[in-house]
Every structure is written in structure tokens, then in C-alpha cells.
Amino acid sequence: MNPPTLRIATRKSALALWQAEHVAALLRAAHSGLTVELVPMSTRGDEILDQPLATIGGKGLFLKELEVAMLEGRADLAVHSLKDVPTQLEPGFVLPAILPRADAADAFVSNDYTDLDALPHGARVGTSSLRRQAQLRALRPDLVLLDLRGNVGTRLGKLDAGHYDAIVLACAGLERLGLAARIRARLAAPDWLPAPGQAAIAIEARDNQPAVLALLAALDDADTRLTISAERAMNQALGGSCTVPVGAWCVLGEHGLHLRGMVGDATNGRLLHAEASSAGDQAIALGQQVAATLLAQGADKLLGL
């Protein structure tokens, strides 16, 4: 018998709540009569805003409290931005559904400049992502890169207050919040690589609740799961952290999968690139192959492995 109510653990930010509400609406549409409730929570990653994520434990800090809520029976599932989900989940948890991917590009956001090339020498750009910092330094070594934490509204507020000349955010997050007009330019593949899994929404649940897993499986997008499996396999083979300067972009075409990977140095802008193709059923092997090529180029030294 299906549970009469599904409870979604979610962070309290506007974007997290939008994503959770989106999943709730999809679940109600897929299962007539199902009641879905949100359980908003604050996570350690939301509370510590004065330090870069890389120094306080990584993006996994956004998951822990939500997983505890599921373990304690206060929630049945959690909704995440997949790029924040570690490549290895805690024991007892699975991702039964990955939603269709939105625009995976990064967004150049500025009130005064149209794109990255238009920024003056020494302009101040806000981002705490080491991946974004590495690619920015490669393209514009003259820029002053400054940390930028907080939710989307907080980051835009700091830009509007004049603390930065430009900031870099995810296009998908801005679009989901109705803020697409703030995007001045897209930073997109193949010249600029997103984080592994960027722009996809993942649903996490406990692996011992078959009725819940069956309900959630109806939302899974097979093509998105396939391409993101390659990206996450590459990231895992490179150390598996959400906080290292790693970019990945996999596409599914009529001839199979094509994966591009990047490892960078956020201090000097050195970038290593690799790419490869495979049959559609070889996503994991493809990710491992691209990672091996990057490691052969010296990625292990950039990543501190």
C-alpha cells in the first residue's frame, strides 16, 4: 500500500524550496490522491557563510541534516541540486529519481558589463567555486576573484550593493526563480564546463522503503541519468569531491555518449582537458576513461591526490 503522505526534506533557500515544490507538483500529478508536504530545514552549509565551502567540508554539508531527518522518520525523501550531491552517498541512501536537466551553463551577471570580455582590467568578480575560479583565471588572469557565498538572492544583493563588478551563478537557478533577465551572458560548453550534474534535480531516499522508491521512480529521466552517470563517474575517479576544480559535460547523441572533462588550478588558471565517446550503455566506463586521461596529464597534482 502506498503511503498516504510523502514528506520532502528541503533546505529553506528560495531555490531549494522552488525545487522541492516542483518535485511535489510532479509527484501529485503522477500519483492521483497522493499528499505531499514540505519539511523545510536549515543545514550547516547554509549557516556557515563566512568561509569557502572547500575549507569547511564541502557541499555535502547541505545534505547531512536532510539525511538525518529521513533516518529519524521525519521525512521520506530529500530534494537536492545534483551538483551538490557527493559521488558516494551515505550507506542506506539512493537516488531513485533524477529529473530532466535544465540549462547547465553558468551565468555571467553584471549591472554594468555585457560579458566577461567587457570587464575592465582588475575588475572584481564574485564566486566561491574553485571550478569557476580556475576557468576565470584561464580566460582573464587580470581579474580580482572574491569569495561569494549565500543563496541566490543574497549574492545578487551583494552585486547590486556594489561589492562586485560581476558575479557568476548557475543559469538554471536564476531561471527557476524567474530571474533569467539577470543573465547577461552564458558561459557554456564546450569552452566553459559546468560542474558534474549541474542543472539537474536529484531525489534522495532511503533504500529500505520500496513503496516510496516506487513512487519516486516515476519521475526519473533515463537520458539525464545516463549522461550524469558519466560525469559523476569521472568526478569520482578524480577523487569524488564537490569542492575541487572539476568540470564535466556529457551529451547523448544518435551515436552514443560524448564526455568532456576539465581539471583546473584555481590559483593560476592552468586547465587540463580531455574528452572521449562511448556507446550509450558505457557511461561509467566513459567517465573513468576521461578521468584516466586527465590523471595521465597530471590532474592528480592539481587535485592534491
Question: Which residues are catalytically annotated?
Answer: 84
The alpha helices in the chain, defined as continuous H runs, are: 14-30, 44-47, 53-56, 64-71, 130-139, 152-160, 171-176, 210-217, 222-237, 283-296, 299-303
Instruction: Answer yes or no: are the C-beta atoms of 166 and 126 closer than 8 Å.
Output: yes
CA-to-CA distance for 13 and 9, rounded, in angstroms?
12
Instruction: Answer yes or no: are the C-beta atoms of 105 and 188 closer than 8 Å.
Output: yes
CA-to-CA distance for 108 and 140, rounded, in angstroms?
14
Which residue's entry shows cell 548557475?
A: 170
Residue 230 grid coordinates: 558519466
288, HSE (Cβ side, Cα atoms, 13 Å): 4
Query: Coil, helix or strand for 35?
Result: strand
Instruction: Answer yes or no: are the C-beta atoms of 194 and 104 closer than 8 Å.
Output: yes
